[in-house]
Homo-oligomer: A and B are copies of this chain.
Amino acid sequence: MDTLILTADDVHSVARYVGLDALMDALMDRLTAAFAVYRPEDTPIPMRKGFAYHRPAPGLIEWMPCMGREEQVTIKVVGYHPTNAARHNLPTILSTVSAYDPATGHLMCMMDGTLLTALRTGAASAIASRLLAAPHTETVGLIGAGAQAVTQLHALTRVLDLRHVLVYDTDPAVQATFVARMRSFADSLTIEAAPPETIVRRADVICTATSVEIGCGPVFADTTPQPWAHFNAVGSDFPGKVEVPVALLRRSLVCPDFREQALHEGECQQLPAEAIGPSLYELVQQPEAYRFAQDELTVFDSTGWALEDHVAMGLFIEYATDLGLGTRLAVEAIPDDPHDPYQLAAAVAASVS
Contact = CB atoms under 8 A, between A and B. Distances in A.
Interface residues of A, number: 98
A16 B349 contact: yes
A46 B50 CA distance: 9
A21 B338 CA distance: 21
Copy number of this protein in the oligomer? 2
Interface stretch (A75-83, A130-138, A244-252, A312-320): A75-83
B104 A331 contact: no
Contacts of A46: 49
A235 B160 CA distance: 57
A333 B97 CA distance: 13
Contacts of A110: 110, 331
A72 to B, nearest CB: 10
A97 to B, nearest CB: 11
A67 B331 CA distance: 24
Given A1-B90, A19-B348, A331-B7, A65 B63 contact: yes
A98 interface: yes
Nearest to A14: B345
A112 interface: yes
Contacts of A348: 16-17, 19
A327 B341 CA distance: 22
A95 B100 CA distance: 10
Contact of A103 (B81, B115, B346): B81
A33 to B, nearest CB: 22
A181 B85 contact: no
Interface in A318-344: 327, 329-344
B340 A90 contact: no
Nearest to A1: B90
B150 A61 contact: no
A11 interface: yes
A91 interface: yes
A346 B183 contact: yes
Contacts of A44: 51
Contact of A115 (B12, B111, B114, B333): B333
A26 interface: no
A107 interface: yes
A341 to B, nearest CB: 4
Contact of A96 (B107, B115, B341, B346): B107
A350 interface: yes
A106 interface: yes
B57 A150 contact: no
Ordered nearest first, which 3 A-B pairs have the shortest CB separation? A79-B105, A19-B352, A15-B345
